[in-house]
Amino acid sequence: MKKAQLVLVPSPGIGHLVSAIEFAKRLLDQDDSFLITVLVIIRGPFGPDTDTSNQSVLTTIDTRIQYITLPKVTPPDLDPFRSPENYVTSFMEAHKPLVKDAVVNHVMSKSSVPVVGLVVDLFCASMIDVANELGISSYVYFASSAAFLGLLLYLPTRQEQVGIEFKETDPDLIVSCFAKPVPARVLPSVLLNKDGGYTCFENLGRRFREAKGIVVNSYVELESHAVSSFLVGGTPPVYTVGPLLNVNGHGLMGSKSDGHGKIMEWLDDQPEKSVVFLCFGSIGRFREAQVKEIALGLEQSGHRFLWSVRKPPPEGHFALPSDYSNFEEVLPDGFLERTKNVGMVCGWAPQMQVLAHKAIKGFVSHCGWNSILESLWHGVPIVTWPMHAEQQINAFQMVEDLGIAVEMTLDYRMRSDNLVLADKIARSVKCAMEEDGEVRIKVKAMSEASRKAVMEGGSSFAALGDLIKDMLS
């Protein structure tokens, strides 16, 4: 069988790295003629905590994949708080010479097998230049939704028409990748950013059109409207090959997994379909006033709960949250004692394993795309609480476009002063925990569709086959 090499360049964020590795594994499962190399950027702009989480992923690596860790680069001389996305994109662009060197001297020179593609993710679009210089086809691996991809691809057209970033007072946006008009208040913060963020993403949308193809971690059954919008000319072929999930994984945060066993033991002691799980991703965290409202809301809801509470980094530090040494310093007085028979408060939690547990019935989530796919895979309805990145528009899509999530909030932003009150939290949790609610019925059907999509004969299996043919042509 003809062999071919692929090189993947994911961003250092844990969601980007895990998703890219899952794509590589799925590709090899379907066609083992590929030799795949992943270029790992360890020293992320979020500091050493990013290194720890990334290293924990690499301890569970697939031996079929070669990993090359790139040398450290000097971070860009930019304020990460003014535009985190622009900062990260600039950080990734600084790796271009290192990526080219790795491909030439550690991939091409080590084997006569041709390199048929350089696969780059969202923040690595500048690496398309490296592919062009080496005469290699470039592909974008997009770890978010097809709808969000469509929005980015629309930005260059909008820029020609309007010429400035969005404002929250703008009228609802009509864009072909969403079934309903999109309120400006749910647009990602980066598209409202005057400090380089909007311009950065508009440029990404422009660069994506230069790729030979775009691979999306989604499936047609979930996003049929968005996928059909790509059939109009001017867009490279889009391959929906998801959901790409670490289904058999056992957690990703390495040194932070000490409490894993206690969490799973506690869940084992709970009745089936009785627990609401609250978890807000690797970056999500709340200030103390909001933590107290969540606690009061959970008490009011009357439901059993498992709640992952993370400690914000010190003010002014661009870093990941950590675990509290003592939860009582942030929770209401007496909360842990009053809820000890119905709830568990923890630090980091192994999300995929928790969602798979028979005790879980609802999921209050930040609406990161990986988390949405995981919840749908396990048939657990989401209560939307977006925090940052594209999560507001993900929440809008799940609630308004698709009707497969319960709205807590669509426009919450992590750095805002907005406070979601306990009464609203309690109502939303109760709604999600309804036995035969419409959302639960739809989520169950979508769970079955997600599993069929990746099986032989399924839509994503077929799309991956088409991608393989394109790469080898």
Mean pLDDT computed over every residue of the chain: 92
* Catalytic residue (one of 49, 95, 121, 357): 121
Predicted pLDDT at 44: 57
Domain segments of the chain as ranges = 4-242+454-472, 256-449
* pLDDT for residue 253 is more than 70: no
- Grade residue 337 by pLDDT with cuts at 50, 70 and 90: very high
Is 16 noted as a catalytic residue in this protein?
yes
Q: 10 Å Cβ neighbour count for 129? A: 16
Distance CA 115, CA 108 (A): 7
Question: Which one, of 339, 369, 340, 412, lies nearest residue 142 by Cα?
Answer: 369
The whole-number average pLDDT for the span 455-464 is: 98
Tell me the fold of 4-242+454-472.
Rossmann fold (3.40.50)
Mean pLDDT of 50-63: 60
Distances (CA, A) of 205 to 30, 155, 390: 29, 6, 14
- pLDDT at 203 > cutoff 90: yes
Whether the per-residue pLDDT at 154 is higher than 80: the answer is yes
Question: Lowest-pLDDT range, 8-17, 29-38, 373-382?
Answer: 8-17
Angle at 35 between CA 464 and CA 64, to 5 degrees: 95
The residue assigned the tokens 């000097």 is 74
Whole-number Cα distances in Å, 384 to 2, 242, 274, 377: 46, 21, 19, 17
Q: Is the pLDDT score of 102 beyond 80?
A: yes
For residue 51, is pLDDT > 60? Answer: no
249: part of which helix (H) or strand (E)?
none
Phi-psi region of 403 (alpha: psi -120 to 50; beta: other; left: phi over 0): left
What confidence tier does 145 reach under pLDDT thresholds 50, 70, 90?
A: very high
The mean pLDDT value for 294-319 works out to: 92
pLDDT of 257 reads 55
pTM of this structure: 0.94
Instruction: Taking residues 409-423, report their average pLDDT.
Output: 89
Average pLDDT over residues 397-410: 97
Instruction: State the pLDDT at residue 317.
Output: 76
pLDDT at position 270 is 98
Percentage, residues of the chain above pLDDT 70: 94
- The predicted pLDDT at position 255 comes to 42
Q: How far apart are CA 81 and CA 88, in angstroms?
A: 11
> What pLDDT shows up at residue 414?
79
Segment 229-255 mean pLDDT: 81
Q: What is the mean pLDDT of residues 21-27?
A: 97
What is the predicted pLDDT for the residue at 55? Answer: 57
Cα-to-chain-centroid distance, residue 390: 9
Average pLDDT in the 249-256 region?
A: 50
51 is catalytic: no
Mean per-residue pLDDT, 144-159: 97
User: With bands split at pLDDT 50, 70 and 90, how would you rate the model's confidence at 258?
Assistant: low
Min mean pLDDT across 39-48, 65-74, 196-205, 440-449 is at 39-48
**Dihedral over Cα of 451, 221, 372, 298: its sign:** negative
Whether 204 shows a pLDDT value over 80: the answer reads: yes
418 pLDDT band, cuts 50/70/90, is confident
Q: What is the mean pLDDT of residues 252-264?
A: 69
Compute the CA torsion angle 455, 460, 461, 466 (nearest 10 deg). 170
CA distance 8 to 294: 40
Q: Does domain 256-449 have CATH number 1.10.10.10?
A: no
Q: Do the beta carbons of residue 345 and residue 299 sit within 8 Å?
A: no
pLDDT given for residue 254 in this prediction: 46
The pLDDT of residue 105 is above 80: yes
Q: Is the pLDDT of residue 174 over 60?
A: yes
